Amino acid sequence: MANIKYEIQQSFGVISEGAKGWKKELNLISWNNRDPKYDLRDWDEQHEKMGKGLTMSKDELIKLRDLLNSMEL
């Protein structure tokens, strides 16, 4: 991961907390100085180490929201 630059431009919230303070978060992140994307991912407390996750566009996030709202959870 050493060569990846990232800037967390906005934090929307925490989805869950795991072991050792790791948190699954939804953020708006610019990777390698590119346009920011919505990003769902595990982070350590200092936002230095990251786990697996995925990036989404705004359209994908809207679709995901509508999908979740249509489900019985």
Backbone CA torsion sign across 28, 9, 42, 16: negative
Looking at the chain, the number of H-run helices and the number of E-run strands are 1, 4
Rg (CA), the chain: 13
Minimal distance in Å, beta carbon 56 to a second copy? 7
Residue 51-70 contact track with a second copy, rule CB under 8 A, x = bound = -xxx-xxxxxxxxxx-xxxx
Residue number, 30 or 55, with CB nearest to a second copy: 55
The residues binding a second copy (CB under 8 A) are 12-16, 24, 26, 40-41, 52-54, 56-65, 67-71, 73
